[in-house]
Amino acid sequence: MLEILIAGGWAMVPILLCSAVALAIILERFWSLRRKAVIPPNLGDEVRQWARTRKLDPEHIEALRRTSPLGELLAAALSVRMRSREIIKERVEDTGRHVVHRLERFLNTLGTIALISPLLGLLGTVFGLIEMFFAVMVSGVGDPLKMAGGIGQALVCTATGLCVAIPAYFFHRYFRGRVADLVVDMEQQAILLIDELSAHAGEPLAPAAPAPAPRSVRGAR
């Protein structure tokens, strides 16, 4: 295997670097985009129950904000819960743009790798063919070993570039789809909380001590 990589010439260096970066991004995104990490189970139900008590305090809202992307979205709605529904929705949308941007982190890089890896392979192919033609000019067609070296470099670079690009493109599309699914679920939870807050907008706040934070929030503190 090492001999094959060496046979690809200097063009193999950027292709191998791209493969290492792509692998690191894929592993990181698999870990960061776990559903239970982005949308903790039952967090939406717990926060809506928490909101029904009308006993919210800044400390618990800040703790909710740090739990997960969904927690950050719900905390944004709770932080302006006394405002109109339109203002609450606007705050959730503003926060949602930042949340989605973080969920899509590194995906542009992964897509770029999927795009340039075949081009790097093609570049190595061109240089391999140029080397072969120079060998023909110097030695003529009577030295098949030199011609084989140029053809081998061309084929190795092309194959390696494709081997990097195909998985990178697949996982780029896969993670895009996963982010889209998570965003839809978070939007649903945010809408349910906004409806809950709007339904009790005219009720007075309870004077009692703050209610205990939801289990998902307590576990994150």
With a cut of 60, say whether residue 31 has pLDDT above it.
yes
Residue 58 falls within a domain, yes or no? yes
Closest by CA position to 200, among listed 67, 51, 58, 88: 51
pLDDT tens, residue by residue, 48-87: 888 877 667 788 888 889 989 999 999 999 988 888 889 9
pLDDT digits (tens, 9 = 90+) for 112-165: 999 999 999 888 888 877 777 776 676 665 556 656 666 766 788 888 899 999
Report the C-alpha gap between 136 and 147 in whole angstroms: 7
pLDDT given at position 12: 84
206 falls within a domain: no
User: Domain count of the chain?
Assistant: 1
| pLDDT tens, position by position, 81-122 | 888 889 989 999 999 999 999 999 999 999 999 999 999 988
Residue 89, domain extent: 2-201+211-216
In a domain, 221, yes or no: no
Considering the entire predicted model, what is its pTM?
Answer: 0.80
**Is 193 a member of any domain?**
yes
Rounded distance between C-alpha atoms, residue 110 and residue 40, angstroms: 27
Q: Is residue 6 part of a domain?
A: yes
Measure the CA angle with vertex 159, ends 157 and 163; round to 5°: 115
